[in-house]
A and B are shown apart, each in its own frame.
Chain A
Amino acid sequence: MRKKELRVVVSFATTTQAMAMEETAKAAGLKGRLIPIPRQITADCGLAWSEPAQNRVALELLMQEKKLQCDQVVELVI
């Protein structure tokens, strides 16, 4: 198993929102990736964006600037 670490995790209401997040974050040079939505957020299926916690400010600024929609933004050890 991979070692757990603190991440900032963004969940989405639709797959389309997750795709928009991935496209925008990658273009902005963020280091995160899409992961299955963690159980700590919901038992539902779906995708979430997982980003190193130290990038939280940059991530949230980007989301604000690009008007990216999401369900919630939380920090988790995953």
Chain B
Amino acid sequence: MTRSQPALELVDVEKGYQEGGRRHTVLSELNLRLEPGDFIALLGPSGSGKSTLLNLISGIDGPDRGEIRVAGVDLHGLSERDRTLFRRDHVGFVFQFFNLIPTLTVEENLLLPLELAGRTRDEDRERVRGLLGRVGLEDRAGAWPDRLSGGEQQRVAVARSLAHQPSLVLADEPTGNLDQATGTWVLDLLEELVRGSGTTMVMVTHSENAAARADRIYDLNAGRLELREPRTV
């Protein structure tokens, strides 16, 4: 990827839902451009469309209008299956509720994205072990997720989001379900890993403190994205 090709580009994106007989617009005329390695935070009240935006960026959902390009690829131009495969290879997720697979061990949870992408070489496994070490859970590799604390589960989720070396990480309120101290610790880790690998990250959060870590903060209000001036951070 070169500087001339943005990591993420949103052009005049619009998205709405039909509610009974009325159409409810969630996002309108959204424009955004992120370069590789950028880390941005999205702030906004509940129902402002933050999660919807993440779903659009990941290709889980499609826009009504506009274009979404990830690493130069127009997601809307892909079939549902190709969008899934693209997501598998290029996007990492961190969810508010961790969403670890309860029937896979910690290590297997990390290996899952790699296996889905058909990458099961020894060096991939080595990297997973290294990642577990980086999040401080190398001794819990064989543990079941429900035996971990919330903070530990989110650390596994952070490691999983980066296991297959995506170009883009989408974090949906990654600390929303954690106490402040644990949340801070997890954010430190996430930031360190993302910045260390040069990955682009979009983080949705309610927390001003969490947002403050980002390179830029965007407010999502009434379906529009507004870049916050640096002094207000």
B is bound to A: no
